[in-house]
Chain A
């Protein structure tokens, strides 16, 4: 079943596409990005040029990219999903050999003047590929073991490469993002139950293997688990970020201390205050009201994604939209869960708010796909 088998009465062309964009979604993304600029300005002590300005430039680039992606028909993207996946896979392998090291992991690759993080691209390429796969697959075969094994392998291949970098956060996001599409495509719940059970068993094995010769994780990863379970256990070392993040969050109270008045963030307690831990500054300066407002913006993005996905009859489009939305959800959920102490610190940025070029541009590009699916939906 392909897009063209849908009974298409009309698809907007040319400038008419602008009218059919999902404008509320665009405004939401822009609003969230503006929150990001504001916060980046605050953590830089009021200086725009440190982080906010480069971030704005990337936002503009990302927005242009989003429109370009959006105006390209969705069937073009569908046919590009396999090459995109393979290209990302090659880049991931290239990172193994030619990548540069940052923050203790090999993640970056230089392509001419641009530095890209192939693992970020892969998150989207994987969702695209799986959506195309389930679009192509006969709907009755979805739960057959062989047809489940293929997407599983497609997920695990890049995951393995990312784990080697090592980047646990991205690996988890890849598995969760891929699993999400499989779940939406209707793969039997038994598979998910089994995997969940296996994960529980694996966690058990990981914890038991600690200190023995066949220790499964690196020491710093165990330390993160330790500090997750009890941040107070090592408040000077690994738990320091979490303890300080929680003091920042908690001291914000109902309405916060006011813009640029956060004492915790000013004291340079957080080495990643402009990236992974930026939410703490927001929560400190704008309080519970600010934090819940940002959360609401994120939830609204999700809701518009659901609405758009359920409105289209094209299977690739719905899966893609929900997949992108789901990845977006994973981003902010894991990040916020991490800084509030609900989850271990795995190093996931707050989408559209944290400082970081690749993540911003790729995320906006991904929403370009959502827009393309929205514009070109069969009607």
Chain B
């Protein structure tokens, strides 16, 4: 206890000493603080009071100019146009309702806008809120002249988004719209800009996916305002950075042609440059005018878009996933050839059906094709040939080949809701349905029916890959702020030349042999020979009874039960340049509905404009000319060289 006693005393003494020192330091710091307060509040009080009371300094954000979106030729496809508007700051207005009443005498102000303005202005009383925009110059000047009688009201010239080609680019570009609470809740660290009421951000497509690039950085200006909130002078200004200009790989003239050519069909078309992977056109039809959304679409217009059974708002090119039908046969053929289970010359006998257990799998031609080789199987799209080779090669190799060709891959493009498609295999089916893969599933997959799904984009990529033998990846952004984005050197596909040659030959016959399914849609220009493949995919099951009666013709079915029509193609055959895929929803048959469209698009791309009529078979020329006259195309460009554009 003695030692503890000593320690207690010693501890007490030491703590006392240190506490004194600490107290001293603290006293000194508190003294400094008091002196600082005295300095600020007593010595400099007058100066600060002046700053605070007579004038208030306010900071206003300057919204940056949104980056332009250009097509591959440098034409603006999403720009900004001047927009005259009137804003109000509730705190400066005083009696907000009275001020708006006075304003309503100068410009038309509908009650809906008025109510919205009051709500927004009360919520953010210190920030400017848009009262009316898209005013005419006269209206704008009337407000500006009367501004002394309108406290809190400011006239502004702003920029708003404009899509000069309207529907042509609606699905790729998407559109901008005012920031919603939902948008804010999704963004982790919102830019203060987004808090500006009615500030517009990308909602869909490229506008949304490249939002951060396109938006730019806000500037700010420091202004001195008087008691009424009117800006007296500007003290400082820090310009923001405009958003980056984004150049796309799309050619706006081709895009326009494709949109016009698809017309009112519920369809999608994709054109890929085989050398670079550039998407030069990507259209979904029917389309809509994105400018309507920027201005605030009326509920009637919106309802019309929503209720249309052709779904204009959906982007069928990347969001749509369809059974590829016979366009999938190239993949089945390549898988079988690569595995060596069949050779190009070997034939399979087609009696019009294959029997599997007690089930019959039919060929589309009831009487059968007789002896069928690889070339003939593609040319005439014989199903039995594929039933046979698919059984030999098995689903795993087919699925693996499909994946190699891009089916089941979500390509990294700045577009909304890109579909992954589906290359089904045993494991997938077990995970999804918990049941085993059946041979019947393999047969269905072999002809692109059943589980397999591909988007038009994937079909175009598949075509580009088998035309080039390279693992081409699609690209949509060509340059950002003038800086070229690198073209990825595509790796080798790993499919042997012999295999590719065999399949390409069959595709050539499809549109160049008299018996080919797309012979009617051939190109006769020898430099531009086209190879392709038709596809007709069922959206319904054909029962045995129905088959016995004779399959109902598509014409006699209601629209939504008709088959999808597909066509994929590339040209020129000897030096492939463009790959095209066309899907016409419920179009009937691939050869009648999709192939003519794809051929016209391909020719348009190859010639860089309207092709000469000589490229078409002689007996079709009159009809083509007539059709062209009906299309609403952009006015002919005053082309400097007149030759083909290789932009």
Contact = CB atoms under 8 A, between A and B. Distances in A.
B193 to A, nearest CB: 14
Contacts of A247: 48, 51-52
Contacts of A26: none
A366 interface: no
A326 B15 CA distance: 14
B45 A254 contact: yes
Interface in A150-176: none
A341 to B, nearest CB: 8
Contacts of A252: 41, 45
Interface in A267-320: 267-268, 283, 287-288, 291-292, 295, 299, 302, 306, 309-310, 313, 315, 318-319
A27 interface: no
Contacts of B58: 267
A326 B38 CA distance: 24
Main secondary structure of the interface of B (DSSP, over half): helix
B37 A340 contact: yes
B33 A1 contact: no
Interface string B29-67: 110111011101110110111011100101100000000
A184 B15 contact: yes
Interface string A327-345: 0010001001100111000
Interface string B8-32: 1011101110110111001001101
Contact of A287 (B41, B53, B238): B41
Given A235-B222, A267-B126, A319-B15, A340 B22 contact: no
Contact of B8 (A101, A184, A315, A342): A315
Contacts of A322: 15, 19, 22
B34 A250 contact: no
Nearest to A248: B52
B22 A342 contact: no
A240 B36 contact: no
A264 interface: yes
Most A CB contacts (10 A, CB to CB) among B14, B22, B59, B188 go to B22
B37 A292 contact: yes
A288 B37 contact: yes
B126 A183 contact: no
Chain A interface residue bracket vs B: 35 or more
Contacts of B238: 236
Contacts of B29: 333
B15 A240 contact: no
Interface string B188-224: 1100000000000000000000000000000010100
Contact of A251 (B1, B38, B49): B49
A19 to B, nearest CB: 25
A128 interface: no
B236 interface: yes
A206 to B, nearest CB: 23
Nearest to B33: A336
B7 interface: yes
B545 interface: no
Nearest to B27: A299
A193 interface: no
B22 A283 contact: no
Given A249-B41, A292-B34, A264 B8 contact: no
Given A249-B40, A287-B41, A342-B36, A184 B4 contact: no
A253 B45 contact: yes
Contact of A139 (B7, B19, B44, B48): B7
Interface in B296-351: none
Nearest to B47: A250
Given A183-B22, A315-B15, A326-B22, 6 more contacts: A236-B59, A247-B52, A263-B52, A267-B56, A318-B11, A340-B36
**Nearest 8 CB-CB pairs, A to B?**
A250-B48, A251-B52, A253-B45, A288-B41, A186-B14, A251-B48, A251-B49, A315-B11
7 contacts: A1-B8, A185-B14, A236-B222, A246-B48, A247-B52, A250-B48, A340-B33
Interface of A: 1, 5-6, 101, 104, 138-139, 180, 183-186, 235-237, 240, 246-254, 263-264, 267-268, 283, 287-288, 291-292, 295, 299, 302, 306, 309-310, 313, 315, 318-319, 322, 326, 329, 333, 336-337, 340-342
